[in-house]
Amino acid sequence: MRIIQREREGVAVLDLKGTVHCGDDDRELEAIINDLTNRGCTRLVINLREVTHIDTMCLGVFIAAQVRFHRRRGGVNLLQTPPRIHHMLMIARIDQFLPTYSTEEEAIRAFATAAVPDRHACRALVDS
């Protein structure tokens, strides 16, 4: 798994690539999301376009992230979910809880309609 962190218009964006595991020994994604929330980020887009496989533990990480960001009046949006992963989200009914968008612009614009604190809260937080 490879994770690229960046910021766009005050929204943290994580570009995930390859096989994504969130099991016992691989907590990198969870640690990055925790770090973002600890640093005050309230809006997150997770780009799954280049993900080839995702384990079920990651679904739990996504749900926990959505709960945490929502409590801070923000949220998590998924981007370009591959058909196989989208099907898994639908079966688990997670697609009703984590919105998926086909373009980054749509995913970011969706936050503009929500009541979210400081739109620049994530600026410079994801440059690591």
Greater confidence (116 vs 112) lies with 112
Where do the domains of the chain lie, and which CATH numbers do they carry?
Answer: 2-112 (3.30.750.24)
Question: Quick one: CA torsion of 8, 13, 15, 20, rounded to 10 degrees?
Answer: 180
- Please state whether the predicted TM-score (pTM) of the whole model is above 0.75: yes
What whole-number distance in Å separates Cα of residue 2 and Cα of residue 28?
A: 10
**pLDDT exceeds cutoff 90 at 44:** yes
Question: Quick one: CA torsion of 125, 94, 74, 22, rounded to 10 degrees?
Answer: -20
The first and second tokens of residue 26, run together, are 């691989």
Digit-coded pLDDT (tens) for 83-111: 999 999 999 898 888 999 999 999 999 99
What whole-number distance in Å separates Cα of residue 14 and Cα of residue 50?
A: 11
